[in-house]
Structure 1
């Protein structure tokens, strides 16, 4: 499956320039939204994620530099500033505000395209979401999360419905203490000390199926003052 096209936001008060840039960038494979001023851009930024902003500096009301400075307080989206003012102090002001690049007007559309692609190439790849393990290994005991099956050295171990629920909860919170009250709640039971004691009984039974020595549990541990924790190999 191909990656989605980068989504650009063009912010310029000149409708002709907005339209020309939008058509040019769409032809070159980008998804493009446009904003007529800083206030319009803020509304779009509040509801959409963009890969890069192409922003005119000289706009009525809030300028591109001022908007860049404000955006940098909450977003790290790359920003390319466009301006007819190409003097060095103006470029420095834009870069100090947080812009990633600066392109003086007039410019060739191809140069804009090269600048955009160069900025996007510099952006770090998003880190993949951590994947939950499908198998939990506890010495010779193995728990298949997707199948909800427990086995010891290849021999199936029967789990009750409550034990399956407990293993699901612990597998979703590996190496994290889960309180007795939360276990009661996640098991769909009414609260109270009686139900918490019932959970203690279920934990004891589950340990007999997991641990080599249930009285000295290595994997299904008691965390004093916090609850229980599954700590696999």
Structure 2
């Protein structure tokens, strides 16, 4: 049984998150401030951490940095804001995922399960936790580097975030609305067709660096949306 440490000063969020995780077979411990979170981490060595950013005594950014300095345990950051810069900052600090409040508890459980499965695969393959590899595609979350066939691909923030989201959630179909909410945020006021434009750019940039057939792609699911197909994604 995997142990998840849930850190949030909102007792209701802790209660609901704990309930849903336990229903799916996880052992759950909670903490309500940054200092207590660090104590629980040192005491229990959890397999996964759900970490709010705005915490009493020590904010989530600091907790994330202190844990990441000594452990590769997967960390999902929670926040009431959906700013792109903030999400990128969290990923660069070493967070593995980022969920904006309010969130669906079922989605949180699904993300925890997916990330833990990928972490296990990377551990078996000897791949560092901050590296995502699918065939010739490689993403380094710490350095923000994306390479194809070992060639660096320059991506703006939104394209990088979109690609990273797909790689972290392989073989799942997402509508334009899903992608808008995850990458641009619910307060985005543009057209949902912006997703098509960004995916077109990603396909062009990534395919420009390889001439061989690859086992990954961002595929259009007609009438529904898009999905990243990569059976060996980890």
Give RMSD over aligned pairs. 1.7
Q: TM-score, normalised by structure 2?
A: 0.51
User: Which one of the candidate residues 88, 93, 99 is aligned to 1:92?
Assistant: 88
How many residue pairs get aligned? The number is: 124
The answer to whether residue 76 in structure 2 is matched with residue 80 in structure 1 is yes
Give the structure 2 partner of residue 17 of structure 1: 13
User: Which one of the candidate residues 26, 50, 59 is aligned to 1:54?
Assistant: 50
Q: Between Structure 1 and Structure 2, whose CA radius of gyration is higher?
A: 1
Structure 1 residues 92-128: Cα deviation after superposition (integer angstroms, max 9, x where no partner): 1111111000011111111111111110111135979
The gaps in structure 1 that reach 5 residues or longer are: 129-233
Q: TM-score, normalised by structure 1?
A: 0.51
The gaps in structure 2 that reach 5 residues or longer are: 125-234
Distance change >3 Å, CA 47–CA 54, structure 1 → 2: same
The DSSP-based 3-state class of the residue aligned with 2:98 is strand
Tell me which of the two structures has the higher relative contact order, counting C-alpha pairs closer than 8 angstroms and 6 or more residues apart.
Answer: 2
Q: Distance in 1 between matches of 2:119 and 2:47?
A: 9
Give the structure 2 partner of residue 41 of structure 1: 37
- After TM superposition, what 4+ stretches of structure 1 lie above 2 angstroms from structure 2? 124-128
User: Which one of the candidate residues 6, 24, 44 is aligned to 1:28?
Assistant: 24
Q: Distance in 2 between matches of 1:10 and 1:22?
A: 8
Query: 1:61 offset after TM fit, Å?
Result: 2.8
The 5-angstrom pairing of residues 127-138 of structure 1 reads: none
